[in-house]
Amino acid sequence: MSNSPYPAGSDPNFNPPSESAANAVRFTELDRTVQDIRIENTRLDQDIQKLRGRTATVIGLLVGLILLMIGGFAWLAVELQNSGQEEGQDASNADVAVSNRVEELEKQMDDLSQNIPGNLTDTLKSNQTTLAQLQAQLQQVTTQIEALQQSPSPTQTQPEASPSNSAPSNPQSPESPQSPSNP
């Protein structure tokens, strides 16, 4: 028996394939496989290029966002520093204004303490006592006038008023304020 794949005696017209034809089939299959690999390689290269583009875009966005954040923080720091300086200036201006106002109020208090007598409560009590005595005297005089008007004869003499009743017992001091009295 021979090593050929086909039996030698079965078909007299049969010619066993030649090795060059077998090699041609193998080369064709190999060529198809290489083409398939090239097509797959081309597709994979395109996918890689797309992924590289997307990666570059994402990296660019991240870098942009980081730069924006750094810029925002820098701007915020400058603004905070400026506002701190402005507040410091405002506070110093306010301190000057407050100290000026305090000085004015102290001066007004000094002026008032010089113009107001020593103890107002004593002066007020004294004036209230004088007013009460005057009201009592007025009541007595009113009672005497009514009694005289009711008497039948006009020849009666009027009772004399004592000098202590006509003048107030506590004269007002020149320092105490003069208040009008209601008769």
Tens-digit pLDDT profile for residues 114-173 = 777 667 778 888 889 999 999 999 999 999 998 888 887 655 555 555 544 444 554 454
The helix (H) or strand (E) run that includes residue 150 is helix 120-150
The average pLDDT across 90-98 equals: 80
Out of 2-6, 68-72, 90-94, least confident range: 2-6
Residue bearing tokens 């001091």: 173
The helix (H) or strand (E) run that includes residue 109 is helix 19-115
DSSP 8-state class, residue 11: -
The average pLDDT across 58-72 equals: 96
By CB neighbour count within 10 A (0-12 exposed, 13-18 middle, 19+ buried), where does 42 fall?
Answer: exposed
Condensed to tens digits (0 to 9), the pLDDT of residues 4-59 reads 555 555 555 655 557 788 888 889 999 999 999 999 999 999 999 999 999 999 99
> Is it the case that residue 183 has pLDDT exceeding 50?
no
Residue 74's pLDDT band, with cuts at 50, 70 and 90, is very high
Out of 97-101, 132-136, 177-181, least confident range: 177-181
Which of helix, strand or coil describes residue 169?
A: coil
